[in-house]
Structure 1
Amino acid sequence: MNNAVFLFGFICILLIPGAESDEIACPRRVTGTEYEEISFQCFYSPIPNANKYSRKFCCLEGARPGWCKQTIVSDSGYSSPNFHGRITLTDSKEKSFFTVTIDGLQKEDEGTYICGIGQNDNGIKGVLSLSVVEDTKIPEEAELLYAQLRGAVIFKCNYNEQVAGQRKYLCKVNKNGCLDIIDSTGRTDPSYEGRVTAEMKAGTFTVKMVQVRNLDAAYYTCGSDDPEESKDLPNYDLRINEETDILQGPHLLTPRLGGSLSAQCIYNPKKNYTEKFFCKLQDGVCNPIIKTDGSMMSAYEGRVLIDDNSTSGLMQVLMTNISNKDEGWYWCVLTGKKHDQTSTIQVKISKENLPGLSGNTFVQVPAGDPAKITCSYPCRYKTAQKYWCRWENFQCKPLSNVEDTQDSQLATCQTEELVLTIKSASQKDSGFYWCGVKDGSRYVESITSRLIVVEPSSGVSNTNSRANFAGDSRKVEVVVTPSSANNNKSSTVTAAVVSVCAAVLVVCAVFLFLRLRKRKNSDLVSVGSYRTNISMTDLDHNTAKRTRR
């Protein structure tokens, strides 16, 4: 109440024309509940006018009263590692106050804070004290768990196999009771979607949480729909180790339909990870799509690759020919004997209809013929670095037999293409090829084309066909075009075949004619070993004539 009166009085002073202040009106003391959110406002004078546009900040007070030890948030978007993801500062310039909001309060957040305006401690400022109180029953004998910031942690809940049919769950303790994070049916709380998995096996309900945040530091309990069983289940006290705060790449990727994506997974190169892979989270399970050892799901063959630079600590995953079914949550997973890091990425198809790379997704040619695969690109990629490469599991080898048909005289880029040419294709050239554009070492966009080279005897037809590459929504017209020399050969062969067929038809006609005569004039007779076409009627007629003579 006293704080409210103080603020009201101070605001009235601020509203007096011509008045200015060298202080900020902040509440002297604020109290929040552990694990909950708290907000407080600090008012400042609109005079001088510079107050509106100067830097606003909040910091922890150091050993010297009124001086900052560490800035925790500012209106530039900065937040310190201890508060990253759970603190904001919003400046309402038109009303001359700013608001600081802290989420997931912890006991460690208690202390003296300074809120001010300016680039350093010499600006105007106000001091407040923050207290954090417990408003819930803390589980007894909780087992301590430690997790690295942005790392992963595993909770194990052992159950009596005789009641295996009962629903099992892991919940987070808060003032309102316990929030079910995930259960054995796969139901996940929306605030943890994409970050937790669960597995029920051999009487153990195992929950894995990844991309651990500061606000995840809390008490957790294992539970069951059987009240008696829940009494003996373990409790956990999760603590966060903030020493390995490694910034990650974008957590939301919005590729265009038919385009590509590049996921960046950043890790500490000094740590020894024994396995690294990229997986898609489905039904509470994350099955690896591709690993750094080159193994991968067959359904993604030709359109995904992984590039791991253990020196810089950057693992990149590239995926082409994006379709609607590629939307969802993905994990970058790095595991070792002592370390385990997992970062999350969500993929959503962009609603913007931006032009991108396009070309043949499937080309088939006879062996010995030239193969040309085209890749068209829009104006926005005119100055970008372009390439063709051959896909081989976990790498894409650059190719040099590439022609860029762009014409600097053209007013538009609609006809510009990047053409890959193989003069005399053989079966060893069959495989997947990537066309793409790069910005330095960063892959901007790529598409996949598949080349099939077949022997001429396998019956390749000179007709149009349609092929839909796995996972691709585009259907590209594919024309198989033999060379002119082969066309002449085909004409010669066709004429010869027609001549042979005509001769066979004549022989068949004669044979058919004789068969018809046989049926008309009765049976044939044999004279010795000589077979003749004289009929029995003719023979009787000649015998009668000799008798009359």
Structure 2
Amino acid sequence: MHFYSLLSSLILSVLLLYISDSESLKTLKNLAVKHGGSISIPCVYDEKYKSNRKYWCRGYYWSLCKIVANTNTSGRTSVTDHPTQNMFTVELKSLQDSDSGYYWCAVEISGGSDDGDYVYLTVSSDPAVLVINSSVSGQEGGRVSVQCLCSAGYKNKQKKWCRFKDWSCFTVWKTSTSQNSAVLVSDDEKGSVSVEMSGLQKSDAGWYWFSAGDVGVTVHLTVTERPSNSTAVTENKETTAAELNGNTGLIWVLLAVGLGLLLTLATIITWMLRKKCYGNQTETRARVSSTAVHTTITTESPVIYSAVISENKKLSQAVRDDGVIYSSVVAE
């Protein structure tokens, strides 16, 4: 029995040399991604590794893993360091089934053994879990929703929504209203899980993961600033000024149209009055021209007699006793 105990201890020691489970470097242990898709994997490291070179390698054994990409390399696999967040991310693109396997988030240590933590990646056409959108954005004070799907074999597994910043998790139907936003995880028990975060704050931005059982998928959240009141007031003033300018222009157009109508009406009235006046003058001239005046002057007598004869009037004569002839015009 003592022999077997020593053998077990030896085997365990050897395994520890090949498999690292670092506390100074952490990542998820089991991730799933759809065939042909992409995934970003956050690797959180200790403050002491801030200036160390980071890399991503593949292999079952830590001591034998093959380096795939280093910090700031690009291509189908890229490694990007975020020193202010004590984190580096590994982005894998256009993944195929053959890309499934063990990988390592690793930190190079000068003069000593490198540090690393492993993750197993499964690439398939029907992954255990996936999200509709692995990158979401919301405004400060607003809300975001993440739709997660589970395959048939994981519908009854425990669902969790967790964040890398402090490794805190929220389970189904549990709402948290702590310093950060309220989080509600809803499961329809048919393979669809909705994660809703409301009352967003700037501190909520960062990396999260959704998991069903022991398989997870990563999500990145961006929180934008809410417009300040001064900005909103300025925008309202600009809008009001624009509206006033538009109304002023309309008023000038209406005034111009109204003035044009008044001038047109005045012209018409003046023309009608002139026409009427001209017609009266013509009628008067016609009446005068239709009357003929004949004057007979008799020189034999000191009395001068005149007779006015109108074409439209009849002359009636009256003889007085004194022999003088008087005429009177009688209008019909």
Shorter-chain TM-score above 0.5: no
Higher normalized helix content (fraction of residues): 2
Higher relative contact order (Cα pairs below 8 Å, separated by 6+ residues): 2
- The structure number with the bigger radius of gyration is 2
